[in-house]
A and B are shown apart, each in its own frame.
Chain A
Amino acid sequence: MLSLIDRRMGIFLAGLFVLTVAVPVGNLALDGQPVPSYIVALLGKYLCYALLAVALDLVWGYCGILSLGHGAFFALGGYAMGMHLMREIGPRGVYANPLLPDFMVFLNWDSLPWYWLGFDMFGFALLMALAVPGLLAFVFGWFAFRSRVTGVYLSIITQAMTYALMLAFFRNEMGFGGYNGLTDFKDVLGFSLQADTTRAGLFVLSALALAAGLLVAKAITSSKLGKVLIAIRDAESRTRFIGYRVEEYKLFVFVVSAMMAGLAGALYVPQVGIINPGEFSPANSIGIVIWVALGGRGTLVGAAMGAIIVGFAQTLFTSWFPELWLFALGGLFVFVTIFLPQGVLGLIESRLGRKPPPAPAPEEASA
């Protein structure tokens, strides 16, 4: 376990640990609340994004699969948790129906659809938050990788997947709250979602999940399997010719990554208090890619940093100069792809005179 923690990972985890201790203490224990509650929720949100970025880095940075649909896995995890939180509301909804969420009463449904059954149990919901994205990734990947859909074609069909899901979840008939999604949550496992202690608890959980996600990803990538993944990224055909079953490796890492994204979504929803089909929009999924690219593709820690940096920048820009945010984000995309192929982490490390991380080679000419 300790062997997984190289210097880069060590510094990041130490920083994360300090944050995990300092933020709840500053929010709950110190007088005058030096860390206001909204900051706790905001930071918790960034940590979920960071976990999502690590999940994408695992497939893109180490296996060359540029998924433009990771937002879908994230949103599915979020919906699984949202469904549990809806059931937790119970008779406290506007229509005070003990069984049906408000939007179903509004649609004149008289019973819970079968796929909502079981979501009253927290454990089941958490399981589904991992299993549903994992299953989707398995089915999707099983078809796509076996047919050797690669490069931009794969990117485009992942985008089509999340777009199709977005359209589907917008439909009221789907039974997921349609356009408005799921919201008005009251509490989780008996703890009120409005309480500072619950928020701090969720924050700590997000930090732990991020650390665990980083370590799992690191364990995968530094194992022998990880070496094969990198070989696939750099020369897929050659790896296949040597005798590795490329599609099985890809499928494995794709499913793990999707489950990680689902977990991030499940942690994200109770902290922001809403999940709606907008989370499936292709633009969101492309946004994740830029986090990874900014932080440094194929570095895991960099991906997490990228998510946090972009999240902060978005919060600052949208409150100070809302007009300029899209210019800044768009400029960031262009700047990073042209001038920072190694990302921020690569820049820092090369300035500090360290050996730059092994660069992801350009993809095989695929189109």
Chain B
Amino acid sequence: MRLLPRLILSIALLLWAPFVLAQSLEELVAALPEGSYDDRAAVIAQIAATGDDRALKVLEVLLAGDLEQLDSNSRIVEIYGQGRDDFARDILTGEDYGEVPSRGSSKVRVNNSLRRDIRTAIGTMTLRHPDPARRLAAAQSAFRSPDPEQAELLAEAAAAEADPEVARALAEALAVVTLAGDGAAEAKIAAISVMRDRGDTEARTVLSSALDNGDPQVAAAAEEAVRHIEQMQRLWGMAQNVWFGLSLGSVLLLAAIGLAITFGVMGVINMAHGELVMLGAYTTFAVQEAIRSSFPALFDWSLLIAAPLAFLVAGGIGVAIERGVVRFLYGRPLETLLATWGISLMLQQLVRSIFGPNNREVGNPSFMSGAFELGQMTVTWNRLWILVFALAVFAVLLFVLKKTPIGLQMRAVTQNRAMAANMGIRTGWVDAMTFGLGAGIAGLAGVALSQIDNVSPNLGQSYIVDSFMVVVFGGAGNIWGTLAGAFSLGIANKFLEPWTGAVLAKILVLVFIILFIQKRPRGLFAVRGRAVDA
């Protein structure tokens, strides 16, 4: 091994250089062009030993062949091109010397063995860098461009590494290097198991190149690992689809759950439901604008502030719709449909007149931006919070309907209006409250949707058909049905998408629902009983 003596030399230099020579980086760099290649190797080792960030830069530029000495002032510079001309800037100070005339500078020459030294020095510097992020980056770059000569370097670095994440990256880089080199079969099998644990597409690529290894044991291990990785990837792909489906389902649930009350419980077709969602989104926008201009520090709380306001705005408008229009049309569901459609047109135009026809920017608070990795899938925070929010809204609604006096009255009025009135329930008031509750929940949905969708006057239109589908599929009059409907449609949609594309998946789901309604005209969980029978 030619490498070993060189390495020992470098390390030896590393050890004594600071004490004996103790030259500054400036002096070392200035000394670079002088002497023979062997002298240069010594200087390079000393430069590396300074551990200075600028030293790393010097070595990288030197390796790229762009390090030159200016004839005019003997400074060592980095040559960089702009068009056809060469420009120079000082490698240490960064001072720009402007254009360099041809033959105005001479290159700091390196030969192949020197290049190897430089590469090793760079690897050592970055792999031993005090910043773990830099070490991680170095390990990852070693993984991507494996260099068999770095094997020992990587092994040492891995042994010395304290940060577990960096240590794993180093072990993986070492495994790639081992697999690419011509080492012992045992080492290779160990390396294969490291790759197997990594388990992503890159690991599979590395392993598939090990498949045609001469050693049958190694080849078999690699084959098994590839199979394992493929299986894991299938599982993770499935998990990712389920997650996307849950996420879509939570959006559908939010959009549909208010409708499940007005349509499912009251039997009122509220075509303005989507517009109430839109009003919730615009409330969020207005709250954020107010916060931006007056209390910028509160921005992260904007959604928390917007949610109750959106509930009140949408709920208030819902009560007004019920008192002003819908109550004249009870028992005439088709007329209600038309009247509320008219209201939806007016609300759309109202918002368009006030806020303009264009999309409005609603920001993500810090806790909702970004993403994290879960195994091999990426989970964005905003989707996760929306799922949590949707489930929370569902739980609260369930509680209100089942455990509170107003919920009891709502169910009583729905089941038998005349009897409820006889028992002293103010049915008109209960109707208004029920409709207002459904509308308010639509407003809450708007707060959540403002985080992932364009806030425009047409926001509601894009959800209205979907949310009706969810309620009808789940079975009107049963909010558990709505929950099941939303998540099953969401997941079905996302599982179809990889095969069919997004649009066709949606069409297929719609067709499926149309067929499903033929089979079970009252939905997945039909409420049985005289009250709902036609």
Contact = CB atoms under 8 A, between A and B. Distances in A.
B346 A152 contact: no
A367 B534 contact: yes
A289 interface: yes
B345 interface: yes
Interface in A131-170: 140, 143-144, 146-153, 155-157, 159-161, 163-164, 167-168, 170
A171 interface: yes
Contacts of B339: 333-334, 337-338
Contact of A66 (B334, B348, B518): B334
Nearest to A165: B507
Interface stretch (A115-123, A219-227, A321-329): A321-329
A171 B511 CA distance: 16
Contacts of B346: 326-327, 330-331
A282 interface: yes
B461 A163 contact: no
B343 to A, nearest CB: 6
A168 B503 CA distance: 7
Contact of B468 (A140, A156, A170, A337): A156
A324 B337 CA distance: 22
Contacts of B517: 144, 147, 149, 153, 157
A170 B503 contact: yes
Given A167-B503, A329-B345, A364-B534, A143 B332 contact: no
B-side interface size class? 35 or more
A155 B342 contact: no
Contacts of B334: 66, 151-152, 155, 363
A321 to B, nearest CB: 11
A237 B534 CA distance: 9
B338 A289 contact: yes
A127 interface: no
B472 A337 contact: no
A168 B507 contact: yes
Interface stretch (B88-96, B136-144, B323-331): B323-331
Contacts of B347: 330
A337 B518 CA distance: 29
Interface string B333-365: 111111101111111111011000000000000
Interface centre among A143, A167, A327, A330 (most CB of B within 10 A): A330
B251 to A, nearest CB: 17
B40 interface: no
Interface string A272-298: 000000000011001001100100000
B521 interface: yes
A168 B507 CA distance: 7
B332 A330 contact: no
Contacts of B534: 150-151, 237, 364-367
Nearest to B267: A367
B513 A157 contact: yes
Contacts of A167: 503, 506-507, 510
A336 B336 CA distance: 11
Given A290-B338, A334-B342, A326 B521 contact: no
B329 A338 contact: yes
Nearest to B522: A153
A164 B510 contact: yes
Interface residues of A, number: 52
Q: Which one of B271, B515, B521 has the highest number of Cβ atoms from chain A below 10 Å of its Cβ?
A: B521
Interface of A is mostly: helix
Contact of A338 (B269, B328, B349, B464): B328
B200 to A, nearest CB: 33
A161, A168, A283, A367: which has the most chain B beta carbons within 10 Å? A367
Contacts of A155: 269, 334, 337
A332 interface: yes
Contacts of B84: none
Interface in A158-202: 159-161, 163-164, 167-168, 170-171
B504 interface: yes
A362 interface: yes
A142 to B, nearest CB: 10
B527 to A, nearest CB: 11
Nearest to B534: A366
B508 to A, nearest CB: 9
A344 B269 CA distance: 25
Contacts of B345: 326-327, 329-330, 333
B4 to A, nearest CB: 60
Interface in B473-517: 476, 503-504, 506-507, 510-511, 513-515, 517
6 contacts: A150-B521, A156-B468, A164-B506, A282-B465, A326-B348, A330-B346
The 5 A-B pairs at the shortest CB distance, nearest first, are namely A333-B342, A330-B345, A330-B346, A326-B349, A164-B510
Interface of B: 267, 269, 271, 325, 328-329, 331-339, 341-350, 352-353, 461, 464-465, 468-469, 472, 476, 503-504, 506-507, 510-511, 513-515, 517-519, 521, 532, 534
Given A167-B503, A326-B352, 20 more contacts: A66-B334, A147-B518, A149-B521, A151-B534, A152-B334, A153-B517, A157-B514, A160-B465, A164-B507, A167-B510, A282-B465, A290-B338, A290-B342, A327-B345, A327-B346, A329-B345, A330-B345, A333-B343, A333-B345, A337-B338
